[in-house]
Amino acid sequence: MDTLTALTQRVSVPRLTDPGPSDDQLRRLLEAAIRAPDHGMLRPWRFIVLRGEERQRLADIMEWRLLKRQPDADQGARDNIRGKALRAPVIIVAVAEVTENHKVPVWEQVLAVGAAVQNIMIAAHAMDLGAMWRTGDLANDESVKARLGFADKDQVVGFVYLGTPAAPSKSLPDETPDVFLRELPRG
């Protein structure tokens, strides 16, 4: 698949199944990620790759957080939240480990990691893998960041779910860039 086709035809794939990306494909996804633009070459991106049983550790964090907020959550709710970590064969947790008080502001560092995640999305599509970028309030929880090994200053940019599409891909939205164009105000 050529680059422009991958860029213009990519869609998110919420329902993913086995097989997940191979070791070689994972390597290529991460190689694509670290070619994102990065002001100051700060290299703010960090990736936690969770495969197979490793996903249970993310499920543990999700369940622990649920019980912290809702101590009386029943088994159904606990199973439901754990299932979120198991809905794809592989999850890449992408985190911006930011440098504060730097001439490159934090928002630019977080954007660089967003660009890295988008590179993963495009590379996955180009390799006929399905991918879905998710965050949710989990991504902004200080205690979750700590359990992932990061400080509160850092930002979880995405949980990138990867696998084989479980259903035919949705069709592309019928849009053109024109509606997003604006004129520079005069004066």
Ligand X SMILES: Cc1cc2nc3c(=O)[nH]c(=O)nc-3n(C[C@H](O)[C@H](O)[C@H](O)COP(=O)(O)O)c2cc1C
The footprint of ligand X (CB under 6 A) covers 11-12, 132-136, 158
Q: Cis ω on the peptide bond leading into residue 89 (within 30° of 0)?
A: no
Q: What is the DSSP letter of 103?
A: S
Task: Give the nearest distance from C-beta 122 to ligand X in angstroms.
Answer: 11
Beta strands in the chain (DSSP E): 16-17, 45-51, 90-96, 130-134, 155-165
In terms of CB distance, is 57 or 134 closer to ligand X? Answer: 134
Q: Which of 152, 150, 151, 148 is nearest to 49 (CA)?
A: 148
Closest to ligand X by CB, 27 vs 83, is 83
- 11 or 104: CB nearest ligand X: 11
Instruction: Supply the minimum distance, in Å, between the C-beta of residue 158 and ligand X.
Output: 6
Q: Which is nearer to ligand X, 22 or 136 (CB)?
A: 136
Asked if 104 and 39 touch (Cβ cutoff 8 Å), the reply is yes
Q: Give the shortest CB-186-to-ligand X separation in angstroms.
A: 33
- Cβ-based neighbours of 173, under 8 Å, separated by 6 or more: none
Q: CA-to-CA distance for 109 and 106, rounded, in angstroms?
A: 5
Smallest gap from Cβ 12 to ligand X, in A, equals: 4
In the bound state with ligand X, the residue whose beta carbon lies nearer, of 5 and 135, is: 135
Find the shortest distance in angstroms from Cβ 157 to ligand X. Answer: 7
In DSSP terms, which residues pair with 12 in a beta bridge? none
